[in-house]
Structure 1
Amino acid sequence: MEKVCYISYIPIHLIEMILLLLDCRSLKNSKRVCKKWNSLIRDFTFKKMHSDNQRIRSTLFVRGDQFWASSSASSTSSHDITYFLPKKINYSSLVIEGCDKGVLCLTDYIDKFFYLWNPAIRKVKNFGKVKNFGRGRLENFRLGFGFDSVSNCFKVVKVISDNDCKHDGLFKEDNRVEVYNFGTLPSDIGYVIEKKSSMVNNIFSSCSTINRTRSNSKCSIVVNNRVHWMLFYGSGYNNDRDEGYSFGIVAFDLHKEEFELINTPKDVVRVSQVENINKLCECLGFITWDELNLVAEIWVMKEYGVFDSWTKRHTINLESLCGNYRPFLNLLVNFGNDGDLFISVGRVLLFWYHLEKSSVHAVSLNYQHRLNSIVTDYVETLF
């Protein structure tokens, strides 16, 4: 008697609805069921729908070669998982340049390679050596990474300064720009589809004389189809950021491939206390940290691109939380899209503070490697 495959009689739209509820590992195994399922799961439109359908947003805590993903402190469901960095990547010299749609852009400042890595499906691609490395860490260029939702493709943008000083002279008009287009499936390809070179457009046209610009090696942030970096700029020649410097955020439009400078409130923010940029509830924001008084402030731009919409969203006094650790403070302070504040003390003890509920829990990081970076708003995808 001939066997009948009843699953083939299920309408394809019902199969799609069911598969969209599965996690990435289950979907990866589901591709083996039949050719129809394999074709559906590999389809770009399905991958994008699955990515947009994900409700569990995690934060990646990076410790050596381990990436610990944990959901919000306010979440009622437990979603903790550890991803291990592929052995081909040297974790001791790793810099996380950006993260979008579940794909991380990584650079190795010793071996001088850069990678795209999807932890959920264990896919990594080495895209060769990066030119224009400075002495030691990535000193005379910055990378940004994001998914262009208009063109439906992943892009890496590299801004190169001829200044040999660490992170100096970046995002000025004489900087070179290289944009790498990786297409829609970076986990399935081993080459760059397109590479374009240009110069940075003038983002300081409304400012007074700009003698110096300084950036840093912290992870770029994607908001509103734009990649963002922190920037300190001004006429000052000393290293005191409060003397002659302003704090701004550089935005790169992934579709138009143009730069712009987003100004921040200057009269109420001390430049030297700016710690990180990030997004909160899908709004662009930044956090300041007063180490003397143990006070953190989070500012958000409620309406993207509108200067007057900058608002101080939270002021958190952490004296009661971190006061006893003051002699040992080596803080890594950041905040997440879902409303969490992260404070690591000595990079081995992590305080996880939910801003709206004022709930706190501590995590002891008793592992071989200390916490060295945090990537917020991570979601598992099939890209």
Structure 2
Amino acid sequence: MRLIDLKRHCCTSSFMFIVELIMQVMKPRSSNGNIIPFIPLDVVEKIFLAVDTQTLFHCSFVCRDWNSLITSPDFISRNSEQALQSKNEVFLVKVCRYIDNSESDIDTDVTFHECYSLHWDNHRLSLFRRLKTPTIDGFKTGKVLGTINGLTCLVDHLHEQFVLWNPTIRKYVMLPQLSMTCCEVHRSSVGFGFDSTNNDFKVVSLIHRNLKLHIVCVFSYATWSWKFFTKRTHPLPRCRVFKVAAPVFMNGILHWIAWNIDVGYQFILTFDLSHEVFGQIFLPERIAEFDGFVSIFTTGERLAVSKLVRGERQIYRKWYVWIMKQYRVYESWTNIVRSEERPYDRPNHKLIPKNVLGMRVNEDIIVEMGDGRILSYNPIARRTKSLQGVDALGVIKDRIFIRYHTESLYLLEKKDEVISY
């Protein structure tokens, strides 16, 4: 079978098909009937790079040579690059569902359960696969920082603990805990990204004191350690980063919504993960004013911001979305949504969401409505579609996370620290 035929077949193939195929190739018979015992690993590697990630994980248990190849950092990196080039767009979705405890021994009648699943990026967000989540003693997954190159970063803000989780291979690892007393008593804003220059995942924690950025803590996956930036060692911007608005990662850079203390306006604070330096991107004037909730999201190579304004007693509501068509070019900010609802408007005449969850590749905006519905909104046609694949999960309001996800083998090369479940 040619390699291109194998690649086409792998979409529906089983683990046993791959194993039997390669075993047959590894044991061809010569003209005199003797078995040729060896096939170059570079040939096996080319075949493996055409195989889906879950099958690769199972193949790593077949023999020592395969395990050594599949768990090598170089192969994992190449496999991740292959996955990123795939056109199969999949979302990682986290929701919370209520659980009725009235017939159990639990004190409270109702609790909630966090559920993770993968969904195709189609008109319904159809279910691709449900994910089994790990149970980690003493860790409460209060927030998902992000999902990048197959790794999902979870944070327990109460104890300032972080977990890297690979749902594809069902492994996770807890990061070394920050041994700083200031982390326990001061507010932090955290982000998760990937440094492609150094092939390194990084977690960045911005520690505030007296509502100002005070210390920056950066964790490196490659060195498995934290390092700290202070005002004495590095020039830190004089700003306050909003914890409510989650940061986004794009172009090797983390982006937060922040407040300039000296001048008094909102802007986008950036942190380049390769060079570990701060920068800023100015917001459109209407967005920079401090009179509503601003969130930031991305679509492909474009940056976008959303602003929700609610008047006192809900007298009026406004929603604006601006997209930056050329990265870091202020003049390229373009207003794509302007929706204003006033008392004399018909009920539900204007689309004013409760929360903006992200943007799709086709630049439809995923929004959460006040009644809990999850919609996909096309700002050009001004039409909405219900994402029934998510609605069917029974979403609790304000407890949903949706981001694009690619599967990878990261964590498989970390032998000692990683926990399987």
Q: Tell me the TM-score normalized by structure 1.
A: 0.75
Aligned to 2:249: 222
Give distance in 1, aligned partners of 2:47 and 2:384. Answer: 35
The correspondence of residues 206-217 of structure 1 with structure 2, limited to 5 A, is 213-217=240-244
Shift of 1:66: 1.0
Give deviations 1:196-227, integer Å, cap 9, x for gaps.
222254465xxxxx6x6341144322111112
Aligned to 2:164: 116
Give distance in 2, aligned partners of 1:325 and 1:155. Answer: 42
Q: Given that residues 146 and 403 in structure 2 are in contact (C-alpha distance below 8 angstroms), is that contact kept between their aligned partners in structure 1?
A: no
Q: Residue 125 of structure 1: which of 152, 170, 173 is its match?
A: 173
The correspondence of residues 1-383 of structure 1 with structure 2, limited to 5 A, is 5-8=23-26, 12-54=41-83, 55=86, 56-63=89-96, 64-74=113-123, 78=126, 80-88=128-136, 94-130=142-178, 131=180, 132-133=182-183, 140-163=187-210, 168-170=211-213, 175-183=214-222, 193-199=224-230, 201-202=234-235, 213-234=240-261, 245-267=264-286, 270-290=289-309, 296-312=319-335, 314-315=336-337, 317=339, 331-338=354-361, 339-346=363-370, 348-354=372-378, 358=383, 360-363=385-388, 364-365=391-392, 367=394, 369-370=396-397, 372-383=399-410
What SS does structure 1 have at the residue aligned with 2:122?
coil
Q: Given that residues 348 and 365 in structure 1 are in contact (C-alpha distance below 8 angstroms), is that contact kept between their aligned partners in structure 2?
A: no
What SS does structure 2 have at the residue aligned with 1:230?
strand
Give distance in 2, aligned partners of 1:297 and 1:115. Answer: 34
CA gap 1:379/1:169 in 2 versus in 1, 3 angstroms = same
What SS does structure 1 have at the residue aligned with 2:400?
strand
Give distance in 1, aligned partners of 2:219 and 2:225. Answer: 6
What SS does structure 1 have at the residue aligned with 2:284?
coil
Q: Give identity over the alignment, percent.
A: 23
List runs of 5+ in structure 1 lacking aligned partners: 184-191, 205-209, 236-243
Identify which range, 56-65 or 101-110, moves more after superposition.
Answer: 56-65
Shift of 1:365: 4.6
Q: Given that residues 200 and 220 in structure 2 are in contact (C-alpha distance below 8 angstroms), is that contact kept between their aligned partners in structure 1?
A: yes
Identify which range, 270-279 or 292-301, moves more after superposition.
Answer: 292-301
Q: State the AA in 1 paired with 2:212.
A: G
Give distance in 1, aligned partners of 2:137 and 2:244. Answer: 18
CA gap 1:134/1:218 in 2 versus in 1, 3 angstroms = farther
Q: Given that residues 283 and 302 in structure 1 are in contact (C-alpha distance below 8 angstroms), is that contact kept between their aligned partners in structure 2?
A: yes
What SS does structure 1 have at the residue aligned with 2:291?
helix
CA gap 1:278/1:266 in 2 versus in 1, 3 angstroms = same
Give distance in 2, aligned partners of 1:354 and 1:24. Answer: 33
Give distance in 1, aligned partners of 2:371 and 2:118. Answer: 17
Aligned residues: 340
Larger Rg computed on CA atoms? 2
Give deviations 1:120-151, integer Å, cap 9, x for gaps.
2211112244443456xxx5222222111111
Q: State the AA in 2 paired with 1:71.
A: W
Q: State the AA in 1 paired with 2:190.
A: L
List runs of 5+ in structure 2 lacking aligned partners: 1-21, 27-37, 97-112, 411-421
Q: State the AA in 1 paired with 2:337.
A: T
Give distance in 2, aligned partners of 1:47 and 1:367. Answer: 36
CA gap 1:324/1:376 in 2 versus in 1, 3 angstroms = farther
